[in-house]
């Protein structure tokens, strides 16, 4: 995994290990079926991405185009109109739109106050007074809170210029780790690059200061994906996962759980050797048979040590691919391309 993937994994692990549940509390958020959306969370968490690191995780899909479009709609075009979002095929705000077809006084509506514009003032300040400690923007507006479709989650930025680099702190009151966090990391990094380019500066450090940090969507996603998986299968999947330097998607983890008992490489080699002695009596899995076929010429020449080494290489290279694709140990014999693609 990348540096960014590990930062993300450590945060999720910290929530799981040290977070607290808000069960039986009067929480604001609800699921579509009306159930209260309880969450396990931490309060107060900070991550830093050094210069040269783009905070884009690779262990889950991030919709980068939508992230960039949303950032441009708010920060460049400074619009909160559904019509503009629809024209850019950005649908993530549809359920929050007010009856007038806008987000009300939320987000970009806060940039323009009278004759002054926060983004214009920010860029002017970076260029003309780079050592200022007031290079900030804020969406927070207590008086207009009732007129907002949603109180902003990522609500403030602070900017800093030093050693020819533009550094950014993003301040966020509420963080949905499973869904919104990777999205926010990437889009604010892109914003940092745009403003740095506009001000003829290099991109520096990106710091994310988080308030309430929770994986709100995780429980729902996992519960749905694991329907039909028994407790024994679940623990089997965990055991399989612990032997691999691999971070699967939820769907791939489910496939591991129900994939059945695969032989270890040593067991596969031992059974393959027995199979060569009596192919009618002894049975082996298709994966073991495929690996054996790749080294039978070496066995014929008596090069058992080399045959064993190559067998293990072929078997291990294809074992995880077979598991996460949902194949069973007794599936039909594959073609070469099936296992080696």
Catalytic residues: 153
Burial class (CB in 10 A: 0-12, 13-18, 19+), 128: exposed
């Amino acid at each position: 995994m990348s540096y960014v993937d590990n930062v993300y994994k450590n945060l999720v692990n910290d929530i799981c290990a040290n977070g607290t549940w808000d069960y039986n509390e009067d929480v604001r958020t609800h699921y579509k079926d009306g159930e209260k959306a309880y969450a396990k969370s931490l309060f107060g968490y900070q991550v830093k991405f050094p210069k040269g690191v783009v905070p884009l995780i690779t262990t889950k899909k991030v919709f980068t185009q939508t992230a960039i479009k949303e950032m441009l709609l708010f920060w460049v075009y400074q619009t909160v109109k559904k019509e503009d979002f629809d024209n850019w095929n950005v649908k993530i705000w549809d359920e929050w739109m007010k009856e007038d077809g806008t987000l009300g006084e939320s987000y970009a509506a806060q940039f323009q106050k009278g004759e002054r514009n926060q983004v214009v003032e920010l860029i002017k300040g970076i260029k003309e007074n780079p050592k200022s400690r007031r290079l900030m923007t804020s969406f927070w507006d207590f008086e207009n809170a009732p007129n907002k479709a949603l109180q902003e989650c990522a609500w403030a930025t602070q900017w800093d210029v030093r050693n020819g680099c533009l550094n950014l702190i993003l301040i966020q009151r509420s963080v949905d780790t499973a869904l919104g966090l990777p999205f926010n990391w990437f889009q604010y990094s892109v914003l940092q690059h745009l403003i740095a380019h506009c001000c003829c500066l290099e991109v520096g450090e990106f710091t994310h200061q988080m308030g309430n940090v929770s994986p709100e969507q995780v429980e729902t996603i996992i519960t749905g994906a694991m329907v039909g998986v028994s407790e024994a299968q679940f623990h089997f999947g965990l055991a399989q996962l612990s032997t691999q330097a691999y971070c699967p998607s939820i769907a791939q983890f489910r496939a591991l759980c129900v994939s059945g008992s695969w032989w270890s490489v040593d067991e596969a080699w031992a059974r393959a050797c027995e199979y060569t002695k009596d192919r009618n009596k002894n049975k082996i899995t298709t994966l073991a048979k495929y690996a054996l076929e790749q080294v039978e010429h070496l066995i014929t020449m008596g090069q058992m040590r080399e045959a064993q080494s190559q067998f293990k290489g072929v078997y291990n290279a294809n074992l995880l691919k077979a598991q996460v694709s949902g194949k069973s140990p007794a599936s039909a014999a594959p073609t070469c391309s099936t296992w080696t693609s």
